[in-house]
Amino acid sequence: MSVLRVVPLAATIAATLVAPLASPLAAQETVRDTSRAAVARRDTLDAVVVRATRVGAAPPTSQTLIDRATIARTYVGQDAPLALLGATGVTAASDAGAFSGYSSLRLRGIDQTRLAISVDGVPLNDPEDQVLYFSNVPDVLHSMSSVRVQRGVGGSGFGPAGFAGALSFESLPLATTPAFREAEVTAGSWGTRRVSVGAASGVRGSVAAYGRATAQTTDGYRLHSGNDARSAFGSAAWFGDRDVVKVTGFAGRSRMQLAYYAASEADLAADRRTNPMSPDERDDFSQSMLSLQHTRTLGRSGAVTTTLYRNAAAGTYDVAVGDDLWNFGLDHTWVGLLSTATWTTGPVAWSVGGHASDYAREHSLRIRPVLTTDVYANTGHKSEQSAFAKAVGRRGALEWVADLQLRQATFRYAPSAGVAIGSPEVTWRFANPKLGGTWQLGGGRSLHASVGRASREPTRVDLFAGADDLDAATAAEVLPLTRVRPEQVTDVEIGMRRAGARGAVAVNLFSMRFRDEIAAIGALAITGSPLRRNVPRSTRAGVELEGSWRPVTAWRVDGNVVWMRARIAEYEDEGAGVTYRDVPPLLTPAVTANLQASWEGRGGRSLTLGARHVGRAFLANDGNAALTIPAFTVLDGGVTIPVGRQQLRVQGQNLLSATAYAAGYTDGATRYLFPVAPATILATWQVTF
């Protein structure tokens, strides 16, 4: 579980003006630049896009910052959603049960297709699926300076609107990262092994660079759910008097045994590690991203940054259908251009940005062993244009924020050869306004309030009701593409924060009212994608409480709890012909809570012990208490022992082997559940040289 910060809003706004957080623990040298002003200037230019799009220039909503020191102490290569467990309102699951696999994250009970995910301001949500498959980019968190988990509508960025929240990753800042070289070796439960090598040059003259390469493998907790993965991350920058040119890229490849189908209660009773999928059902996917960024200062307070990026992914996966093994293929290329301008006029800081992108993904099916003949081959095209403007100002004790995003997205389907359905196309246009304010009350106290609206288009899976290819019969059922309506949410947040010498506390009330929410219906497509459809009205409202306390210098206690009431006003089970009213949405626990105590001794020694509780969650939108995931509580912990320039870190999850299930679904009669692995121990030896 991560050590969490309760970030006062004043500090959040100020984050646009200060340097990023700590560099790697392994780095012991200092940046060889005698001018601290030069370092600050370079750092500001290095991260101007992140600071224009992160919550530092966004309506005041609740958020959790996971800083570099926390990542360095607790991260052991697990998929990013699993590394974020412990953040307020976050639940996560891996179909393999531990470490990696097809992992997923939910925030306030809302799935990750509704989160705006970015790295250094560049959008990562796949335009068709509106999700980042974290398994395609293993170990990416290792190269991050921080992760900000923002809840609620939040501020504008590039790509889709932050419908339920945002995950904003910031890579290591080259201007302030000292030179270092390190190697890590991890080994532990379920056949997990990892080797990672990383280095940074520090600023040498006018240039700096960073790189990391990783190889990791695991058998998975569930039977035949292993993953063999490789990844690399690199960045380099040139710093001029008024300019910065930066190149950033990452690449990953994962070869997994599939486990995205859950097991029935009866099968789990016989063997908790059971996996109903065949050992022959496997996938092999790779993904890469490359960005080229140029920043130019204008006068004393202005800067313009332009970024060109290319994102590509390709691979295949096998699904057993009867006695056959179907081989599905995906291959996408995505290019985009984004630009931001920031400046200050008197007490107001401004930022504006624009973004345009073009995306195409080929979908194909072959049947083994004949992989030279396509059963079908179609292509989905997606283009997007968006712009935003933000203003952050101060008047006396009031700090106000105004924000507007305009966005247009077009999806066009090119069917397989010989399918006479034309080339269906749909265009969506959205205006997403936000307004917020913070009142500084003195004594480290502040009040905040915000209101925002966000709209989001359906995914391809939503539009096609789970189908991967449209023939004449399927097209008659799902066309026109306007049958699935965009969803909209109005989010109101009101809260208070107080920070003192020994701790901080924050409370946030939220009310999210949805129109035409595209809600999960508790079933999976043959390809493993959750099926969803519109529900006219639904709500999520609750309170989030966060706190930190340092009774003495060496000890710290962090905690958070969320109480939430989520309801679908009316849900029709089309298969059963039954309508349910005022029912809770599936996979949305009413209570989540985290508590962690940590000790930091001399020389880098540390000890952490934490408890994580997730309340009961329904498996269907019918309010049936018999078809739920039971509440569970797990105990996690870790210890760090320095040995000279080396370091041993041992992390444990679910130390008491509690019976827990992270996700699941139902057919209306049986519960199918994804188990959480029992006690899992991973040890990492880090060498600095």
**Could you tell me the CATH number of the domain that includes residue 325?**
2.40.170.20
Q: What is the pLDDT of residue 69?
A: 87
Positions of the chain with pLDDT lower than 50, given as ranges: 1-37, 40, 55-58
- Strand pairing partners for 617? 629
Distance (Å, rounded) from C-alpha 402 to C-alpha 450?
Answer: 10
Distance (Å, rounded) from C-alpha 496 to C-alpha 271?
Answer: 48
Q: Is the pTM of this model over 0.95?
A: no
For the chain, how far is it from start to end, CA to CA, in angstroms? 29
Query: Nearest-CA neighbor of 157 among 125, 111, 128?
Result: 125
Task: Please write down the HEC assignment for all residues of 565-626.
Answer: EEEEEEEEECCCCEEEEEECCCCCCCEEEEEEEEEECHHHCEEEEEEEEECCEECCCCCCCC
Edge-to-edge strands, sheet with 122-123: 5-6, 63-66, 144-151, 165-171, 115-119, 122-123
Q: Which residues contact 644 (CB under 8 A, 6 or more apart)?
A: none
Please, what is the Cα angle at 169 between 165 and 171, to 5 degrees? Answer: 170
Range of 424's domain? 5-688
Q: How many domains does the chain have?
A: 1
Burial of 590 (0-12, 13-18, 19+ CB in 10 A): middle
Query: Nearest-CA neighbor of 588 among 612, 621, 556, 559?
Result: 621
